[in-house]
Chains A and B, each alone.
Chain A
Amino acid sequence: KAGVTQTPRYLIKTRGQQVTLSCSPISGHRSVSWYQQTPGQGLQFLFEYFSETQRNKGNFPGRFSGRQFSNSRSEMNVSTLELGDSALYLCASVTQPSGRGSTDTQYFGPGTRLTVL
C-alpha cells in the first residue's frame, strides 16, 4: 500500500506570494491533518479534514487555509507569505478520526519544505 504523498517536496517563494501544497493520503484513509514544523516551535497542528469538512483547526492566522476533495486528497494554501512561514509542512492521514481527537496512528508524508525569501 502506498504511503502518504506530498507535492511538491521543495518550494521557494518570496514574501507576499501565495502557495498551495498537496497531500494524497493512504488509500482508504479519509482523515487528513496538516502540521507545520519549525526549529523553534517544533511540530504544530494546523487543521484536520474529514469527509471534505474541516473538523479541527489549530492556532494559526486566517492566511492558512485548506480543503479536502471527495477522493480524500487535501490541499493547504498559505496566502501573503511571510518569512516566518518557512517551514516543513507535514500531512498525516488516518482511517477516520476517533471521537473529536484522533488517537488512531497517523501516518505522515515526507513533507514539503517551503522557503520564503
Chain B
Amino acid sequence: DQQVKQNSPSLSVQEGRISILNCDYTNSMFDYFLWYKKYPAEGPTFLISISSIKDKNEDGRFTVFLNKSAKHLSLHIVPSQPGDSAVYFCAAAPTGGGADGLTFGKGTHLIIQP
C-alpha cells in the first residue's frame, strides 16, 4: 500500500512556463514533507521541505504548497528552466513517534522543452 503517491510518472512543460508536480499521501502521521530532485546516475538532491504547521514554503523559483485536509502537496517551479529536467521525488516523514526513514513517492519525470 503506497503511502506517498505521485500519480504522474512524467510531465512535459515548456521552458519559461510553470511546472506543477503533485503528491498525495495517506498516512495522517506524516507531518514533514520534502522534495528531492534526481538526475540520472546521481543520488537525489534535497530541494525544499515543508512542515505541517505551514501551508506554503518558498525558495527562489521553488514553492511547495501543503493542503493537510486533502493530504496533498505540490511543488511549483516558475519559471521552468532546461536544467530543471529531472526526476522529482516527494518524501514524507512522521511525527517523532514513528517513521522508519523517509517514505518516498515513485517520482515524476519532469521534461522541460525549449
Q: How large is the interface on A (under 10, 10 to 19, 20 to 34, 35 or more residues)?
A: 20 to 34
Q: Which residues of A contact B96 (CB under 8 A)?
A: 98-101
Q: Does A48 contact B (CB under 8 A)?
A: yes
Tell me whether chain B's interface is mostly helix, strand or loop, or mixed.
loop
Binds A, one of B10-18, B44-52, B59-67, B76-84: B44-52
Q: Does B98 contact A (CB under 8 A)?
A: yes
| CB–CB A56/B41 < 8 A | no
| CB–CB B100/A42 < 8 A | no
| Chain B min CB distance to A90 (Å) | 5
Chain A residue at smallest Cβ distance from B97: A100
Instruction: Identify the A interface with B (CB < 8 A).
Output: 4, 33, 35, 41-48, 56-58, 90-92, 98-103, 105-111
Instruction: Identify the B interface with A (CB < 8 A).
Output: 32, 34, 36, 41-46, 49, 89, 91, 93-107
